[in-house]
Amino acid sequence: MLLDASLPPISLKDVPAIARAAEKLGFSALWTTETQHDPFLPCALIAEHTQKLNFGTAIAVSFARNPANLAYTAWDLAAQSGGRFILGLGTQVKAHIERRFGMPWPESVTGKLREQITAIRAFWDCWQNGTKLDFRGEYYKLTLMSPFFNPGPLLSLPSPGRGGDGDIPIYIAGVNTGLAKLAGETCQGFHAHPFNSPRYLREVILPAIADGATKTGRKREDLQVSVTAFVATTPEEQNFCRAQISFYASTPSYRPVMALHGWQEVAEKLSAHASKGEWGEMFGLISDDMLREFCLIADEADLAEALKERYRGIADRLTLYLPFTPGEKDAFWQKMAKEFNV
């Protein structure tokens, strides 16, 4: 199990220092997010200011972009970093795609994401191996690639650009079984949403990944499961996690997580409050039992072992839902990275 870090929502000028610190402290990878900032711009700086640190998007909103945009950006970042970049994609939810990005929501979420992934790899196969670009699907038709627009092969991709070991890794994120199955079928990794419990991951997500892998002759071990975990070592961190959990649990498409534990009625109440903007009413609906199910509460000294026990057999990569800021808790982060990444 590898320990990764997540880049906090910061200005680009602050990225180099955090990237260097993450590498020095021993993290395996540094992930960028798409919340307040573009997820790809920090990646160029991470590549420039580190030598060994892996990095990637967790996530970039796929339905806000087309396959060509994603293929070119990932190609350039892989080239700049010598193959350390991981392309992490997520669909977002319908309201954000339609009302924040002004893009259409597809009839089939898994169908469109599958096409995007296949189309991206068609570009890479064309550039790496000289294969004619000829992708035809329900959402995309891609048949034009003249030499003027072809960036040429990457030395870091020795094998064909169809998902092989030499490919730029693609991870997809999800909460429900459809995207977990798709990851098992075609991806190198799956980003489990922070709103998870070990039981949900073990009983719902991992079987779905295995089902998808079986469809294409793969095994569960052929991809990495990356889990972001809520943890709390202080009362203040417990309050922070309780608030975040209440926000995530209010999302209708995430309701199966609550339903598995018998808390669907609470999820419906949270959704009703969220629809009215009553954010202050939501915090108190997350009981102590719910908090313990979705958040690991432990003393700082015991946290590493508690995490290993909680996610053993589930996670290949682990990121804490805590901001990583150099100069704050450096000894803690260094100890955690050493416990996992040695």
Q: Is the pLDDT of residue 124 over 60?
A: yes
Per-residue pLDDT tens over the stretch 202-227 = 999 999 999 999 999 999 999 999 99
Same domain, 64 and 170: yes
Q: Are residues 56 and 156 in the same domain?
A: yes
Among 92-96, 136-140, 285-289, where is mean pLDDT lowest?
92-96
pLDDT band at 158 (very low <50, low <70, confident <90, very high): very low
Both 149 and 258 in one domain: the answer is no
Give the integer Cα–Cα distance in Å for 67 and 123: 8
Q: How far is CA 100 from CA 35, 38, 61, 104, 162, in A?
A: 11, 14, 11, 11, 32
d(CA 197, CA 22): 27
Same domain, 307 and 319: yes
Q: Are strands 85-90 and 54-57 parallel, antiparallel or unpaired?
A: parallel
Residue 322 pLDDT: 83
Sign for the CA dihedral angle at 306, 290, 5, 330 comes to negative
The verdict on 227 and 239 lying in the same domain is no
In whole angstroms, what is the distance from residue 257 CA to residue 291 CA? 13
Pair 165, 247 in one domain: no
Q: Indicate which CATH number applies to the domain containing 45.
A: 3.20.20.30
Span 30-71, pLDDT tens digits: 999 999 999 999 999 999 999 999 999 999 999 999 999 999
Cα dist from 342 to 1, 24, 25, 26, 85, whole Å: 10, 13, 12, 9, 21
> What mean pLDDT is predicted for residues 118-130?
96
| Same-domain pairing of 269 and 152 | no
Identify whether residues 170 and 110 lie together within a single domain.
yes
Cβ proximity of 335 and 21 under 8 Å: no
Q: Is pLDDT above 50 for 110?
A: yes
pLDDT for position 342:
59
Whether residue 164 is predicted with pLDDT greater than 60 in this model: the reply is: no
pLDDT of residue 167: 82
Distant-in-sequence, close-in-space partners of 112: CB < 8 Å, separation ≥ 6: 63, 106, 138, 139
Residue 156: per-residue pLDDT: 63
pLDDT at residue 165 is higher than 50: no
Low-confidence winner among 80-84, 155-159, 264-268, 303-307 (lowest mean pLDDT): 155-159
Task: Count how many Cα atoms sit within 13 Å of the Cα of residue 224 in the half-sphere of its side chain.
Answer: 16
- What's the number of domains the chain is made of? 2
Residue 227 sits at φ, ψ, to 5 deg, of -110, 130
Q: Do 31 and 171 reside in the same domain of the chain?
A: yes
Domain residue limits at 286: 234-295
- Range in 91-95, 158-162, 250-254, 301-305 with the lowest mean pLDDT: 158-162
- 254-289 pLDDT, tens digit per residue, is 999 999 999 999 999 999 999 999 998 999 999 999
Q: Which of 260, 279, 295 is the last residue of a domain?
A: 295
Question: Do 322 and 194 have their domain in common?
Answer: yes
260/287 same-domain check:
yes
pLDDT reported for residue 153: 95
252 shares a domain with 222: no
- The answer to whether the beta carbons of residues 255 and 264 sit under 8 Å apart is yes
